[in-house]
């Protein structure tokens, strides 16, 4: 079995998380509050997002959010890679 590059896997997870966050931002900007509620209600099949959708998010808050999402998902990807590598038996 091949070992995973922990940093590269973390980076891939981080970019994927940031891309999903950016997609969410685009949905909210282009569809407005009612469209966002309809989209996320259908995506979350049965969960009503009416009371948790907030449209007054500042640009700075969104920037911090995308950075925090990248860092969180980078750490998750690095952990998965590290745990995977720890389970690999080394041939001698």
What is the largest distance, in Å, between two alpha-carbon atoms of the chain?
61
Instruction: Give the CA dihedral 68, 55, 39, 44, nearest 10 degrees.
Output: 50
The tens place of each residue's pLDDT in the chain, 92 residues long, gives 789 999 999 999 999 999 999 999 999 999 999 999 999 999 998 899 999 999 999 999 999 999 999 999 999 999 999 999 999 977 76
Give the number of other CB atoms < 10 A from CB of residue 27.
15
Give the number of other CB atoms < 10 A from CB of residue 86.
8
Instruction: Give the CA dihedral 69, 30, 43, 19, nearest 10 degrees.
Output: -30
Spell out the domain ranges in the chain: 6-87
DSSP 88: S
């Amino acid at each position: 079995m091949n070992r995973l590059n922990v940093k590269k896997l973390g980076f891939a997870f981080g970019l994927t998380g940031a891309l999903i966050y950016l997609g969410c931002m685009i949905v909210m900007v282009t569809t407005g509050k009612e469209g966002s509620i309809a989209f996320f209600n259908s995506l979350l099949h049965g969960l009503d997002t009416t009371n948790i959708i907030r449209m007054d998010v500042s640009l700075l808050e969104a920037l911090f959010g995308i950075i925090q999402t990248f860092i969180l998902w980078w750490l998750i990807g690095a952990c998965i890679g590290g745990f995977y590598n720890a389970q690999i038996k080394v041939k001698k």
